[in-house]
Amino acid sequence: MPPAPYTSRKLYWRVFREASPYGWHLFGILLIGLLATPFTLLTPLPLAIVADSVLGEQPLPAWLQALLPAAIVGSREAILGVAAGMVVALAGLGKLRGLLGALLTTYTAAQLVLNFRARLFRHAQRLSLAYHDTRGSYDTVYRVQHDAPAIQWIAIDGVIPFITSAVTLISMLSVTLHIHRGLALVALGVAPLLYGLSRLYSRRLRSGWRGAKKLESAAFAVVQEVLNAVRVVKAFGQEDREQERFVRQASQSLAAKLRLAWSEGLLNLLLALTTATGTAAVLFLGARLVQRGELSLGELLLILGYLAQLYKPLESMSQKVASLQSSLASAERAFALLDEAPEVVELLHARPLHRARGAVSFEHVSFSYDGARPVLREISFHIPAGARVGIAGSTGAGKTTLISLLMRFYDPSSGRILLDGVNIRRYKLRDLRNQFAIVLQEPVLFSASIAENIAYARPNAPHEAIVAAARAANAHDFIRALPEGYATAVGERGMRLSGGERQRISLARAFLKDAPILILDEPTSAVDVTTEATIMEALERLMVGRTTFMIAHRLSTLERCTIRLELANGQLVQAGEARGKAHDHAAA
């Protein structure tokens, strides 16, 4: 995948669009942040007052004289007391402000990230199978889990402090300019240097972070892949090799992060050296001015105090630009996921479909997964409602693909598929998929109870309906024999049940869904003959009154069908009535 073509400005803009529902919260955080400025401005004041008006001989600044009662202005002790009181009051109020800010920030950040994650997850579910198959699921997990919080780092911890720093900077600057223009300009001389440094480094850091995140996601993809296939890994005794594969990937990501830490550290060092140079220059020139009597000692102390405060926002703005690059790289990855267009899309005014009759036609349907190698070529046939279709063909012939197209997991490259005479693209996607009940070769269960697994398509189904479905699927007896019956947890992917048991639960699921079209992709290929018999018996019942597509290799299975489609190399080599039981359905 090429790196996403986002400029920083575009990224910031999108982060703010994403954060806009929390606009007022962000504004509140900004206001509380801005309140920091008066506190910072006032902090060195008590010291200056003491130096000039208590220890020294100068009168209080005019604005303070106006604020304080005359009795205090006249007494040095009283002024000292006021200065001491100011120290405590400033500290207390300052901390209170910090506390409020922290609370609001935490709340907003958590909400922001939750919403963004929910959006990413929804979108990931909408994306085509093709996307997940090529990208691997862990990369998506990583984007939802580790990349999504970037939005918070950018909006709250990056940009808002940047704005407040800028405001602090301006106010500090105007005060310093007021006290001594020359010294202020000397102090400001380092600003272009700081800007240049952060520009230079941010570009380098961003591309570095982009790479590091990709490497880290790849390392954890190894963990996920291995844990999902832990049986196979153990069976082949390949634990050490997988371990080594993980460590190799993780070390690469570690090395990349170390390089980034070094770059960031170096940048911070250079920034600190630059501001220290500025301070040294002001100290040097300021002391000379005091010697010549052009500046009071209090003023020099004040300027030096402000200088530290002036450089803090300058330095932190430059650091922010650099440290944000990691978050920007993450935001880039998260937005790239959102920008991935689902290949199968619903029309704007798609038709609702309550219950189809179940007539299916393919008209010159061709399809290819990669756009190059055709998997299906010019497939045409017509299946009347209620027919039983057996699909045969050697492995890799395209049988599963044919079914996937019917359910619109993919759209054909050319040709069209009709359900009840209407192109399936015209239906609402959800309604269309509701017309199918599928039983796969490898049944997929979720880590929930047996009852919840059976009721997957109808979560509100009453318990009696679940039991009835289980009975119909010949699963009731074995479920009842389990210690916890229908409440038994099946473990992740249903791994605590045998293959045949899982298969019968997925059959029960199909019974409960009661869809007009039934799709069976070799449902008995993984079970023994006895289980196959019970499953087939249940299937006979399930097929009544439904259009059924049954993929099968065994002749005995295919003989239950009324229409037979045979695929070879993606082409239909035979479409006709099954030899076993002739039926009056015609196949075109």
Q: Are 439 and 519 in contact (CB under 8 A)?
A: yes
Give the interface size with ligand TTP as a residue count (CB under 6 A): 11
Q: Is 393 in the site for ligand TTP (CB under 6 A)?
A: yes
**Minimum distance of ligand TTP from residue 400's CB (angstroms):** 3
* Full strand arrangement of the beta sheet holding 571-577: 436-439, 517-521, 547-551, 388-393, 563-568, 571-577
- What minimum distance in Å lies between the beta carbon of 526 and ligand TTP? 12
> Given the rule CB under 5 A, which residues bind Mg ion?
400
Q: How many CB atoms lie within 10 A of CB 331?
A: 28
Residue 557 contacts ligand TTP per CB under 6 A? no
For ligand TTP, the closer CB: 197 or 376: 376
Candidate ranges 2-10, 156-164, 272-280, 389-397; the one touching ligand TTP (CB under 6 A): 389-397
Cβ-based nearer residue to ligand TTP, 133 or 339: 133
d(CA 508, CA 486) in angstroms, rounded, equals: 12
Contact partner, 313, from ligand TTP, Mg ion, none, Cβ < 5-8 Å per class? none
Given Mg ion, ligand TTP, none, residue 477, with its beta carbon under 5 to 8 Å by kind, binds none
Nearest to 335 by CA among 1, 2, 5: 5
Minimum Å distance from CB 342 to ligand TTP? 16
Q: Which is nearer to ligand TTP, 157 or 442 (CB)?
A: 442
Rounded to an integer, what distance in angstroms lies between the CA atom of residue 225 and that of residue 246? 11
Looking at the Cβ atoms of 333 and 564, the one nearer to Mg ion is 564
* Residue 509 C-beta: closest distance to ligand TTP, Å: 21
Q: Length of the chain in residues, anyone?
A: 588
Of the candidates 192, 291, 348, 395, which one interacts with ligand TTP according to CB under 6 A? Answer: 395
> What mask of x and - would describe binding to ligand TTP in positions 345 to 374, judged by CB under 6 A?
------------------------x-----
Nearer to ligand TTP, 231 or 373 (CB): 373
Site for ligand TTP in 1-60 (CB under 6 A): none
> SS3 letters for 189-220?
CCHHHHHHHHHHHHHHHHHHHHHHHHHHHHHH
Q: Smallest Cα–Cα separation from 418: which of 386, 455, 377, 384?
A: 384
540-554: b (≥16 Cβ within 10 Å) or e = eebbeebbbbbbbee
Question: Does residue 133 interact with ligand TTP by CB under 6 A?
Answer: yes
Q: Which does 375 bind (CB under 5 to 8 A by kind): ligand TTP, Mg ion, none?
A: ligand TTP
Using CB under 6 A as the binding rule, whether residue 399 contacts ligand TTP is answered as yes
Q: What is the smallest separation between the CB atom of 375 and ligand TTP, expressed in angstroms?
A: 4
Q: Where are the alpha helices (DSSP H) in 292-414?
A: 297-339, 399-406
Q: Is there binding between residue 401 and ligand TTP (CB under 6 A)?
A: yes
Span near ligand TTP by CB under 6 A; candidates 81-89, 150-158, 352-360, 388-396 = 388-396
Select the binding partner of residue 528 from ligand TTP, Mg ion, none (C-beta < 5 to 8 A, by kind). Answer: none
User: Six-digit token pair at 511?
Assistant: 């019974």
Of positions 197, 397, 429, 469, contacts ligand TTP by CB under 6 A: 397
What backbone phi and psi angles, to 5 degrees, belong to 111?
Answer: -65, -45
What CA–CA distance (Å, rounded) separates 46 from 80?
8
Identify what 319 binds: Mg ion, ligand TTP, none; CB under 5 to 8 Å per kind: none
Contact string 237-256 vs ligand TTP (x = CB under 6 A): --------------------
364: left (phi over 0), alpha (psi -120 to 50) or beta: left
CB 151 within 8 Å of CB 15: yes
Rounded Cα distance between 260 and 237, Å, is: 37
Among the listed residues 267, 260, 263, 269, the one whose alpha carbon sits nearest the alpha carbon of residue 197: 267
Interface contacts to ligand TTP, rule CB under 6 A: 133, 369, 375, 393, 395-401
